[in-house]
Structure 1
Amino acid sequence: MDVLYFAWVRERIGLPRERVETEAQTVRALVEELRAREDRYEMAFSDLSALRVAVDQRLTDFDASIAGAREVAFFPPMTGG
């Protein structure tokens, strides 16, 4: 699946997107796999309350299933004006 990173998440990880092979069944499990990779992922995902997530372009939560998903995106909360 493709994993996309936006704003400061991208800055901390150093990539805008990457292809990830995973056995994770939920967003939270995917995050744990990513955090175990390297310190930069640990830093990017250190405070999940400061992040939002979308699975296949639908806003969801960290307990959502990613089974069969093509894309998971992580980004900070956004405000409009």
Structure 2
Amino acid sequence: MIDVMYFAWVRERVGEPREQVDTQAVTVSDLVDELRAREPRYAEAFKDLSALRVALDQELADFDAPLSGVREVAFFPPMTGG
């Protein structure tokens, strides 16, 4: 089980801030594929990965990062500075 958290417009599209996901995914990209296949709302939220960032256990990561040992995955739009 992995805790998956959604922030900003990702949360709005998925419809919830967090959930526990029972996954066989090896990488973040595999997890995204599993989520997309669930329902149209997930497919919409994850249709453009270039518009998303991911953190594994609160550290920025790439979509090809392994999930082995990871407890928490967070998806969010890129941060902007000001």
Tell me which interval the TM-score lies in, with the shorter structure as reference length: over 0.9
CA displacement, residues 27-59 of structure 1 (integer Å, 9 cap, x when unaligned): 000000000000000000000000000001010
Give the match for residue 11 of structure 1: 12
Alpha-carbon deviation of 1:74?
Answer: 0.2
Give the match for residue 35 of structure 1: 36
Q: How does 1:38-57 map to 2 (within 5 A)?
A: 38-57=39-58
The residue type equivalent to 1:8 in the other structure is W
Give the match for residue 75 of structure 1: 76
Aligned residues: 81
Task: Please list every run of at least 4 consecutive aligned residues from structure 1 whose deviation after the TM superposition is greater than 3 angstroms.
Answer: none
Alpha-carbon deviation of 1:80?
Answer: 1.9
TM-score by length of 1: 0.98
The residue type equivalent to 2:4 in the other structure is V
Alignment partners' CA distance in 2, 1:72 and 1:50 = 16
Alpha-carbon deviation of 1:68?
Answer: 1.3
Give the match for residue 3 of structure 2: 2
Alignment partners' CA distance in 1, 2:15 and 2:32 = 16
Structure 1 unmatched runs, 5+: none
The residue type equivalent to 2:22 in the other structure is E
The residue type equivalent to 1:62 in the other structure is F
Identical aligned residues as a percent: 73
